[in-house]
Amino acid sequence: MTTNGIRLEQGMSVDVTTPTSTNPVSVNGGVLVKEAFARIYGIDLSPIWLSAKAAMEVVKIN
């Protein structure tokens, strides 16, 4: 998926730790996920957040 010059590829992933069992993509504007993508891939997802979050899969690891 390429939007506004930002390319996300299948298989890109980040790990985030949350204080609750809520979905980190939909809580607090996805700040934890956006920060993780910026830290790992150097990508600012803010401009494409609505389309990016629709393409994301959340996997809970116990």
3-class secondary-structure state, position 1: coil
How far are the Cα atoms of 10, 30, 38 from residue 42, in angstroms, in the given order?
17, 16, 4
pLDDT per residue as tens digits for the range 8-50: 889 999 999 998 889 999 999 999 999 999 999 999 999 999 9
Helix intervals (H) in 1-62: 31-41, 49-55
Global pTM exceeds 0.75 = yes
Domain map of the chain by residue range?
2-55
Give the helix/strand (H/E) hosting 6.
strand 6-7
Residue 56 in contact with residue 25, Cβ under 8 Å? Answer: yes
